[in-house]
Amino acid sequence: MMRRIFLISFIAIVSFNSTVFAQGSQVKIANNSLAKLQNSIAEKADVKKQLTIIGEGIKAIELAEKDRKTKNWPETWAIKAYLCSYTALIDDNETNADKYFKFAQEALEQAVKLDKFQSNTELIKASHHNINVKKQRRATEAFAQNDFFTAYELFKTVSDYRPTDTALAVNAGVCAQNLQQYNDALSYFIRAKENGAKNAALFQNIATIYASKFENELAIKYLEDGLNINPYNPLLTNDYINLLLDTEQYDKATKAIENSLKTDKKSKLLYFLYGYLQQNQVKNISTAELAYQKALEVDYNYFDALYQLALTYMQSANQALEKKDKQKYNAFVNRAEYTLLRAHDININHRNTIKLLIDIYERKNRLDKVQELKRKLNEF
């Protein structure tokens, strides 16, 4: 981040030749103010003293910019750009700082235009830096107030000036994303990634944008890149698994869940998803049952796991019925009933839970329960 103020070298400040001094005494006075300012910064003088020195320089340079000769010198505008940009950074009077910020930008534009022989490179570079520090401060303030349009315009300008600064690129990307300018957001997020940013949220944002554009393979690629840098990050892992499920890449999803469960044994969602895949894709009901039970060990009242666990019991009951194993059939039906009643207590308005309970009570010939639950369904 650009927190420091750019300090120009004394040699660069006083490099004007004697002919320049002879022709422009006001430019010479302003240049001397630059030297005095440099010394005051080195001595860590207070802001009031620095502003006094700057005031002397600006007064002289304003006269120089009105002179027939010196108004066309790049030195005149380069000095003004630096003095004004520095004032914009240190003046606590916001109105005054904003005024000099505007002056600095206008003077810098003129300095660049006139400096055909690049004789004021250090001053121009320093002014560029100070102006961008000011823009970054304004961008941060606008972002804090949810003024994403202003923040984005400023952040992208500063990021383009400092393209290797990953924080600036990320901030520009977040602003663009909030403005739904997704292509712009993507370009700044990728800039941050290519310059070494490793934050998991960055990879999430890139993947989210690609997924919204239905470019799922790119979304998966960036999530995998993020997981290589941030192994087992729960947010990246969840997004990765969900996207694999959405794109029906069940084998990869299963493997990803298995790898995650090696380190995260407290994620009820991972256990649930693993059980769901085992139940519906692999058709391994016993493994699915164990996975749901693991999820319930983490959260006893996890509704989704309770409901799916009841379904596995009913599947096992039907298999036992096909084999004419009445004892196992009754045991699994009873387990399903008990599990569904727990689920029903948690979410009394879940229609599929009620329908499955009706099925169980019809099998048990509990017509009183069947009628009671059917009345409840009709009330919805």
Q: What is the pLDDT of residues 219-264, one digit of tens each?
A: 999 999 999 999 989 899 989 999 999 999 999 999 999 999 998 8
* pLDDT band of 334, cuts 50, 70, 90: very high
Mean pLDDT of 85-92: 97
Instruction: Identify whether the C-beta of residue 55 lies closer than 8 Å to the C-beta of residue 37.
Output: no
* Mean predicted confidence (pLDDT) in 54-79: 96
376 has a pLDDT exceeding 70 = yes
Alpha carbons 352 and 299: distance in angstroms, whole number: 21
pLDDT tens digits for range 122-131: 999 999 999 9
The mean predicted confidence, pLDDT, of the chain is 93
Alpha-carbon span 255 to 120, nearest angstrom: 61
Taking alpha carbons only, the member of 277, 324, 278, 270 closest to residue 297 is 270
Vertex 179: Cα angle to 177 and 184 (nearest 5): 55
How far is 100 from 75, CA to CA, in rounded Å?
18
Q: pLDDT tens-digit profile of 318-327?
A: 999 999 999 9
> How far is 229 from 155, CA to CA, in rounded Å?
26
Considering only the C-alpha atoms of the chain, give the largest distance between any 2 of them, rounded to a whole number of Å: 113
- What local confidence, expressed as pLDDT, does residue 18 receive? 42
pLDDT of residue 139: 98
In this prediction, residue 14 has a pLDDT band, given cuts at 50, 70 and 90, of very low
Whether the per-residue pLDDT at 7 is higher than 80: the answer is: no
Give the global pTM: 0.81
How high is the pLDDT of residue 22? 41
pLDDT digits 0-9 by tens, 283-319: 999 999 999 999 999 999 999 999 999 999 999 999 9
In this predicted structure, what is the pLDDT of residue 379? Answer: 81
Q: How far is CA 266 from the centre of its chain?
A: 26
Tally of CB atoms within 10 A around 363: 16
- Segment 144-153 long-range contacts (CB within 8 Å, at least 24 positions apart): 148/175, 148/178, 148/179, 149/175, 149/179, 151/175, 152/176, 152/179, 152/181, 152/184
Task: Say if residue 16's pLDDT is above 50.
Answer: no
Contact 339, 317 (CB under 8 A): no
pLDDT tens figures, 163-220: 999 999 999 999 999 999 999 999 999 999 999 999 999 999 999 999 999 999 999 9
Q: What is the DSSP letter of 351?
A: H
For domain 265-380, give the CATH superfamily: Tetratricopeptide repeat domain (1.25.40.10)
Residues of the chain with CATH 1.25.40.10: 265-380
Q: Which fold has domain 1-138?
A: 1.25.40
